[in-house]
Every structure is written in structure tokens, then in C-alpha cells.
């Protein structure tokens, strides 16, 4: 068991203990009547919570309902006529902060501490946009299920996943949550790592270096040349061949002329043009460790 898990578990135990003390004081009165009205036959999707860990909260049974929906005494007495303290809808949805706070009372591990300020929090998403607290199969959403969930909203990314060059996400070798934390991040794009390069290095270690001859843009930001999800240019490049390099090397030592036939005057074309792609000669575009690799050619 990891330290965080242990911490969470201890936290939950403490919460349960505290509650059972409070609860036994009230227990003399009575258990909430939630299940008198929300009966198994009528509300079977509500009762499916008893097949999940959430159905055992605060001792289980009707008391578990109050863990997320609050004591809801008025609603408990008057049903239809008064809303529960905290609701996730459909009739009386509480605001996003109230809903999220209900879950975060128990779920405040490292990942979830990043929630405040995350892109999703700022867009007023709620925990139950992605998690169904009542249904067993959607409590842990990994792999395919989580990807579909993300793509429902991120249609732009959906399109990128089918471009000719792409990270193998539809092929299921990588997933959105391998790179992104849906609960937030400390750097850009809610990545698990602080910098974009550190994200890439977590799987492409050979690109980290250190190199004897660095190529500054690679050390600075992989996204200067690559797209993270997909691209029309192999391999995940922003632009094709010479054009990619010419964004920065327009006035290079050997003129990086456009590669059309107009530059082939009288058949005495430069060998650099015949070489076509800069990478044919400058193959070590991420950096070189060869003693004479200063020009990234070896
Ligand atoms: C872990 C938190 C949690 C617990 C515990 C919980 N609920 Fe919920 N409840 C939710 C969330 C979140 C929703 C929104 C729908 C969903 O995500 O499944 C919801 C939805 C509902 C709804 C509306 C369902 C609909 O679609 O009409 C009812 C009714 C309800 N809960 C009753 C209960 C009752 C009764 C209990 C106790 C047996 C209970 N809940 C326990 C979190 C919880
Ligand atoms: C007297 C009957 C009754 C009792 C007791 C009762 N409910 Fe309800 N509850 C209802 C009815 C009826 C609705 C549906 C309201 C509607 O859609 O018009 C409802 C709806 C809900 C909803 C959905 C709210 C929404 O925004 O749509 C939740 C959550 C809920 N109840 C939780 C609870 C919890 C938790 C308890 C126990 C503390 C409880 N109920 C006790 C009758 C009851
Ligand atoms: C009273 C405490 C409590 C509340 C409130 C609560 N949970 Fe949980 N939840 C737990 C416990 C305990 C577990 C099982 C241990 C664990 O995995 O952390 C759990 C498990 C989960 C899991 C599965 C984690 C896994 O690794 O399998 C998800 C997802 C989850 N809860 C989401 C929610 C959401 C969403 C809400 C609010 C609607 C919520 N929880 C409210 C206590 C709570
Ligand atoms: C945009 C969708 C999304 C939202 C919003 C979201 N989650 Fe999650 N959550 C996920 C996904 C996907 C996973 C599985 C992550 C993985 O497999 O690495 C997850 C995992 C979890 C887990 C289990 C693993 C862990 O990190 O402990 C818990 C608990 C959890 N979420 C709670 C919450 C709570 C509480 C909220 C609201 C504050 C919330 N989530 C909001 C998508 C979401
Ligand atoms: C209910 C809709 C919804 C779902 C589901 C959803 N997102 Fe988002 N997400 C948004 C919105 C809205 C934004 C903010 C606008 C934008 O950047 O597209 C956003 C932003 C983001 C960002 C940009 C962060 C930034 O700082 O620019 C990332 C990354 C992201 N989501 C990843 C995910 C992943 C991964 C999943 C699945 C686990 C997911 N989203 C599921 C609605 C959603
Ligand atoms: C290999 C890592 C990786 C994977 C897998 C990945 N992303 Fe990203 N994503 C990134 C990086 C890196 C950025 C930041 C791009 C930038 O700033 O140039 C990003 C940016 C985003 C953004 C912000 C808007 C944008 O397009 O720049 C969203 C939304 C997003 N990703 C959603 C997703 C979704 C949904 C999935 C799964 C289908 C996914 N990502 C899979 C690395 C990844
Ligand atoms: C979670 C792991 C993971 C992360 C993080 C990751 N990649 Fe990848 N990447 C892969 C896998 C898996 C492949 C496919 C390798 C294969 O099939 O042999 C791949 C392939 C590639 C390719 C070659 C694509 C092709 O068509 O041949 C490039 C370029 C690439 N990644 C760049 C990046 C960049 C840039 C980043 C950071 C934004 C990054 N990767 C982050 C897992 C990852
Ligand atoms: C100056 C532009 C540029 C930058 C910046 C750049 N790359 Fe590349 N990358 C390329 C080119 C061009 C290729 C194709 C090389 C070839 O075809 O020989 C490539 C290929 C790749 C490949 C697939 C082939 C292989 O060598 O494994 C991966 C993975 C990759 N890059 C990862 C990264 C990572 C990670 C970063 C950031 C540290 C990065 N790249 C930064 C231009 C760049
Ligand atoms: C985002 C800008 C950028 C891009 C794109 C870029 N480079 Fe560079 N490159 C640089 C910078 C900055 C230097 C360092 C120049 C210096 O030290 O004077 C450099 C250095 C070099 C050098 C070593 C030259 C020297 O003077 O030491 C070569 C060779 C080179 N780049 C080739 C390429 C090739 C080939 C591509 C295309 C795959 C490319 N570059 C794309 C910015 C870029
Ligand atoms: C046919 C092989 C070849 C091709 C193709 C080629 N180069 Fe070069 N390049 C070289 C060699 C060899 C040197 C080193 C010359 C020297 O050190 O005297 C060099 C040097 C450079 C330098 C360093 C210039 C300086 O000021 O020292 C840059 C930058 C560069 N090339 C960029 C590019 C770009 C961009 C392209 C594509 C448009 C390209 N090269 C295509 C062979 C090539």
C-alpha cells in the first residue's frame, strides 16, 4: 500500500469514527428514512450503490446516503416538497462547488489537491460529470471508457487522433490519462509533469540527453516541432521536411532555399538541395554525442 493510499484510508477511518460517534448520539432518534421512499423496485439505479464501496459509507444502509447528500432532514420528512441538502440533480442540482466539496470531503489525495484552479474546475465541471457515484462500473474509469468520456467533450482532439501520424491512443498503447491528470496539474495543459518536455521524457528517455551538442529547440520545448496528439506530417511534426527547419534557419550558413525546381539552375544544383531533406545530413536533430557532431550530422 502506498503512503498516500494509507493516508487516505486513515483519513476515511477517522471520518468514519468521528461520524459513528456523532451518529450514535442521534441513533437514539432514528435512521434516516431515505429507503422508505427510495425503494429498490422504483429506484433500482439508486440502489445499485450497494454494490459499490460508497454503499458502505458511514455504516451503510440509509445512513450512507447522507455521506454525499447531507443529512437532508427537511427532504427526509417532506419528500417531494423540499430538496435534499446536496443534490447532483436532476430536479434540484446544487451548484458545482457544493457538489465537488461533498466528494472532496473524503477525496483529497495528491491528485485531487490540484483540482482547484484546474481547467476542469474553472469550467465548472463537477465530479459527477465523469464519475457516477451510484454505478459500480464507472467508479474507476480507466482505458477505453475514460477515453470515450474525454472525447465526448474534446471533439477537436477526437479528430487529431485519426490523423496519419499520431500517438497510438486509438491503438490503446497510450491513453489521455497517461499524459493528463483530469483533476488538474501544476504546469500547462494539466499534464502530470510540470513541463511539457518532462512529460515527453517520461516515455522517451533517450531524448533527455544530456548531449555533448545540444540542439537548443529540443532542449527547450518538444512542441516547437511536434504535435502531441496527431499530425498530417510524420512523425507528429508541425511541418514537413525543410519547411520545419526553415522556420528558424531561413538564413542559414548554406542557404536553405525552397526546394522547388526553380532553384536548380542549369543543372548545377547544390548538394544540399539534392540532399532534399535537412535530416538526410543533420540526422541528430535532438542532439549529438559524437565528438564532431557539432552540426548534428552524426
Ligand atoms: C458517494 C456519494 C453518494 C452517495 C453515498 C449516495 N449518492 Fe445519490 N447521488 C450521488 C451522485 C453523484 C448522483 C448523480 C447521479 C450519479 O452520478 O449516479 C446521485 C443521484 C441520486 C439520485 C437521483 C437519481 C436520478 O437520476 O434520479 C437519488 C434519488 C439519490 N442519489 C439518492 C441516494 C440515496 C437514497 C442514497 C443512499 C442509498 C444515495 N443517493 C447515496 C452521490 C451519492
Ligand atoms: C418522503 C419520501 C422521501 C424520503 C423519506 C426521501 N426522499 Fe429523496 N426524493 C423523494 C422524491 C419524491 C423525490 C423526487 C422528487 C421529484 O423528482 O419530484 C426525491 C428525490 C431525491 C433526490 C434527487 C434530487 C434531485 O435533485 O432530483 C435525492 C438525491 C434524494 N431524494 C435523496 C434522499 C436522501 C439522501 C434521503 C434520506 C435522507 C431521501 N431522499 C429521503 C422522496 C423522498
Ligand atoms: C464519506 C466519504 C466519501 C465520500 C463523501 C465520497 N467517497 Fe468516493 N470513496 C470513498 C471510499 C472510502 C472509497 C474506497 C477507497 C478509495 O479507493 O479511496 C471511495 C472510492 C471512490 C472511487 C474509486 C476509487 C478507486 O480507486 O477505486 C471514486 C472514483 C470515488 N470514490 C468518487 C467519489 C465521488 C465522485 C464522490 C462524490 C459524489 C465521492 N466519491 C464521495 C469515500 C467517499
Ligand atoms: C474530466 C473527468 C473527471 C472529473 C471532472 C473528475 N474525475 Fe476523478 N477521475 C477521472 C479519471 C479518468 C480517473 C481515472 C484516472 C486514471 O486511470 O489514471 C479518475 C480517478 C479518480 C479517483 C481514483 C483515483 C485517484 O486519483 O484517487 C478518484 C477518487 C476520483 N477520480 C475522484 C474525483 C473527484 C472527487 C472529483 C471532483 C472533485 C473528480 N474525480 C473529478 C476523471 C475525472
Ligand atoms: C463534460 C465535458 C468534459 C469532459 C468529460 C472532459 N473535459 Fe477536458 N475540458 C473541458 C472544458 C470545457 C475545458 C476547457 C476548454 C478547453 O480547453 O477545451 C477542458 C480542458 C481540458 C484540458 C486543457 C487544459 C489546459 O490547461 O489547457 C485538458 C488537457 C483536458 N480538458 C483533458 C481532459 C481529459 C484527459 C478528459 C478525460 C479524462 C477530459 N478532459 C474530459 C470539458 C471536458
Ligand atoms: C503523449 C501525451 C498526450 C496524450 C496521450 C494526450 N495528450 Fe492532450 N496534450 C498533450 C500535450 C503535451 C499538450 C499541450 C500541447 C501544447 O501546449 O502545445 C496537450 C494538450 C491537450 C489539450 C489542450 C488543447 C490542445 O489541443 O492543445 C486538450 C483538451 C487535450 N490535450 C486533451 C487530450 C485528450 C482528450 C486526450 C486523449 C484522447 C489526450 N489529450 C491525450 C499530451 C498528450
Ligand atoms: C505515456 C507515454 C508517452 C508519452 C508521455 C509520450 N509519448 Fe511519444 N510515443 C509513445 C508511444 C507508445 C509511441 C509509439 C512507439 C511505437 O509504436 O513504437 C510514441 C511515439 C512517438 C513519436 C513517433 C510517432 C511516429 O509516428 O513514429 C513521436 C515523434 C513522439 N512519440 C513524440 C512525443 C512527444 C513530443 C511527447 C511529449 C509531448 C511524447 N511523445 C510523450 C508514448 C509516449
Ligand atoms: C527541431 C525540431 C525538433 C524538436 C525540437 C524535437 N524533435 Fe523529435 N523529431 C524531429 C524530427 C525532424 C524527427 C524525425 C527524424 C527522422 O526522420 O530521422 C523527430 C523524431 C522524433 C521521434 C521518433 C523517432 C525517434 O527518434 O525516436 C521521437 C520519439 C521524438 N522526435 C521525440 C522528441 C522529443 C521527446 C522532443 C523534445 C525533447 C523532440 N522530439 C524535439 C524534430 C524535432
Ligand atoms: C525553433 C527554432 C528551430 C528549429 C525549428 C530548428 N532549429 Fe536548428 N537550431 C536552432 C537554434 C537556436 C540553434 C543554435 C544556433 C546557434 O548556436 O547559433 C540551432 C542549431 C542548429 C544546428 C547547429 C548549427 C550550429 O551553428 O551549431 C543545426 C545543424 C541545426 N540547428 C539544424 C536544424 C535542422 C536540421 C532543423 C530541422 C529538423 C532545425 N535545426 C530546426 C533553432 C531551431
Ligand atoms: C547534403 C547534406 C546537407 C543538407 C541536405 C543540409 N545540410 Fe546543413 N550542413 C551540412 C554540413 C556538412 C554542414 C557543416 C558545414 C561546416 O561545418 O563547414 C552544415 C551546416 C549547417 C548549419 C550550421 C551553419 C553554420 O552557420 O555553421 C546549419 C544551421 C544547417 N546546416 C542547417 C541546415 C538546414 C536547415 C538544412 C535544410 C534546409 C540543411 N542544413 C541541409 C550538410 C547539409
Q: What atom in ligand 10 is closest to the CA of residue 245?
A: 35
* Domain assignment present for 43: no
Distance of CA 62 to the CA centre of its chain: 34
The reply to whether 210 and 131 lie within a common domain is no
Q: Is the sign of the CA dihedral 22, 28, 31, 33 positive or negative?
A: negative
Confidence at residue 16, expressed as pLDDT on a 0 to 100 scale: 45
The reply to whether 52 and 132 lie within a common domain is yes
The reply to whether 156 and 175 lie within a common domain is yes
For the cut 90, the answer to whether the pLDDT of residue 276 exceeds it is: no
Report the distance separating Cα 23 and Cα 19, nearest Å.
Answer: 6
**Whether the CB of 282 sits within 6 Å of ligand 10:** yes
Task: Say if CB 128 and CB 107 are below 8 A apart.
Answer: no
Pocket test for ligand 9, best of 196, 213, 216 (most atoms within 8 A of CB): 216
Task: Say if CB 115 and CB 184 are below 8 A apart.
Answer: yes
Band of residue 241 on the pLDDT scale cut at 50, 70, 90 = confident
Q: Last residue of a domain, which of 89, 114, 136?
A: 136
The reply to whether 116 and 57 lie within a common domain is yes
* Domain assignment present for 20: no
Q: For the chain, give the percent of residues with pLDDT over 90.
A: 64
Confidence at residue 11, expressed as pLDDT on a 0 to 100 scale: 46
Ligand 2 environment, Cβ below 6 A: 32-34, 36-38, 65-66, 69, 72, 75-76, 79-80, 84, 87, 89-93
The reply to whether 190 and 225 lie within a common domain is no
Q: Last residue of a domain, which of 87, 121, 136?
A: 136
Residue whose CA lies nearest to ligand 8 atom number 36:
222
Q: Last residue of a domain, which of 88, 120, 136?
A: 136
Helices (DSSP H) in the chain: which residue ranges? 3-27, 34-37, 44-47, 61-69, 73-78, 96-104, 110-113, 119-122, 127-130, 143-153, 155-160, 176-179, 196-201, 216-220, 241-246, 271-274, 278-281
* Domain assignment present for 2: no
The reply to whether 162 and 188 lie within a common domain is yes
Confidence at residue 95, expressed as pLDDT on a 0 to 100 scale: 96
Domain count for the chain: 3
Tens of pLDDT, residue by residue over 184-227, are: 999 999 999 999 999 999 999 999 999 999 999 999 999 999 99
Beta pairing partners, 180: 191
The reply to whether 122 and 147 lie within a common domain is no
Domain extent for 63: 48-136
**Whether the CB of 295 sits within 6 Å of ligand 10:** yes
Q: What atom in ligand 2 is closest to the CA of residue 72?
A: 38
Confidence at residue 137, expressed as pLDDT on a 0 to 100 scale: 65
The reply to whether 203 and 284 lie within a common domain is yes
Confidence at residue 142, expressed as pLDDT on a 0 to 100 scale: 60
- Tell me the pTM: 0.91
The reply to whether 105 and 55 lie within a common domain is yes
Tens of pLDDT, residue by residue over 108-135, are: 888 788 999 999 999 999 999 988 889 8
Average pLDDT value for residue range 44-49: 92
Q: Which residue has the higher pLDDT, 176 or 12?
A: 176
* Domain assignment present for 34: no
Average per-residue pLDDT for the chain: 84
Pocket test for ligand 3, best of 107, 125, 130, 140 (most atoms within 8 A of CB): 107
Amino acid at each position: 500500500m502506498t503512503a498516500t493510499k494509507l493516508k487516505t484510508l486513515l483519513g476515511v477511518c477517522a471520518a468514519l469514527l468521528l461520524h459513528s460517534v456523532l451518529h450514535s448520539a442521534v441513533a437514539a432518534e432514528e435512521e434516516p428514512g431515505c429507503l422508505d421512499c427510495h425503494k429498490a423496485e422504483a429506484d433500482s439505479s439508486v440502489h445499485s450503490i450497494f454494490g459499490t464501496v460508497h454503499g458502505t459509507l458511514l455504516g451503510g444502509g440509509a445512513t450512507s446516503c447522507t455521506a454525499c447528500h447531507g443529512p437532508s432532514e427537511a427532504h427526509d420528512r417532506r419528500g417531494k416538497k423540499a430538496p435534499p441538502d446536496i443534490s447532483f440533480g436532476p430536479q434540484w442540482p446544487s451548484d458545482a462547488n457544493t457538489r465537488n466539496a461533498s466528494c472532496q470531503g473524503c477525496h483529497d489525495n495528491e491528485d485531487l489537491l490540484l483540482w482547484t484552479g484546474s481547467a476542469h474546475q474553472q469550467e465548472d465541471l463537477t465530479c459527477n460529470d465523469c464519475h457516477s457515484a451510484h454505478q459500480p462500473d464507472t467508479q474507476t474509469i480507466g482505458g477505453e471508457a475514460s477515453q470515450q468520456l474525454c472525447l465526448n467533450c474534446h471533439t477537436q482532439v477526437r479528430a487529431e487522433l485519426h490523423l496519419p501520424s499520431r500517438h497510438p491512443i486509438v491503438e490503446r498503447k497510450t491513453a489521455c490519462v497517461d499524459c493528463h491528470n483530469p483533476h488538474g496539474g501544476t504546469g500547462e495543459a494539466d499534464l502530470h509533469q510540470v513541463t511539457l518536455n518532462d512529460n515527453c521524457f517520461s516515455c522517451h528517455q533517450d531524448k533527455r540527453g544530456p548531449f555533448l551538442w545540444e540542439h537548443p529547440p529540443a532542449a527547450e520545448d518538444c512542441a516547437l516541432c511536434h504535435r502531441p496528439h496527431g499530425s498530417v506530417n510524420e512523425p507528429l511534426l508541425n511541418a514537413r521536411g525543410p519547411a520545419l527547419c526553415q522556420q528558424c534557419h531561413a538564413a542559414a550558413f548554406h542557404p536553405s532555399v525552397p526546394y522547388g525546381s526553380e532553384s536548380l539552375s542549369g543543372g548545377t544544383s547544390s548538394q544540399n538541395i539534392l540532399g532534399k531533406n535537412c535530416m538526410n545530413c543533420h540526422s541528430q536533430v535532438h542532439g549529438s554525442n559524437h565528438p564532431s557532431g557539432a552540426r548534428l550530422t552524426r
